[in-house]
Amino acid sequence: MTSFTPNINPFKIPHEILQILPKLDNLENSQLFIEIWKRAKESSKNLTTDTFCVVIWEIWIHAIENWGTFYEELKTGDISVESLENLIQVFEENYDEIEKELMFVLKDKQIVKKRIDQLKHYRIMNSCQKASNELLQIKRILGLTDTFEICLQITRLACSNKTLMKEISPNALDMDCLQNIKTNEIRCLEEFRKAEPMIKWLKETMKEGLRELKVFIDLAFISAGEGDYEIDKMNCFHAVTYAFAPLIFDLKQDSSFDEVMKKCDLVWKELQNDKNLPQELRDTNKELEWFKVVRQSHGSVEVTTLKQAEQIVAHGIYEVGFPKDKTSKTELEISKVITLNVPQLHDEREYTYSNLMDLQSRLMLVGGQTEKGNENIERFTAVSL
Report domain extents, the chain.
Answer: 196-297, 300-384
| Reported confidence tier of residue 373, pLDDT bands at 50, 70, 90 | very low
pLDDT recorded at residue 369: 46
pLDDT recorded at residue 253: 94
pLDDT recorded at residue 371: 42
pLDDT recorded at residue 198: 96
The percent of residues above 90 in pLDDT, for the chain, comes to 42
pTM: 0.64
Checking phi first, is residue 225 left (phi over 0); if not, alpha (psi -120 to 50) or beta? left
**Residue 323 clears pLDDT 70, i.e. is over it:** no
Mean pLDDT to the nearest integer, 138-161: 88
Least confident of 41-45, 83-87, 98-102, 203-207: 41-45
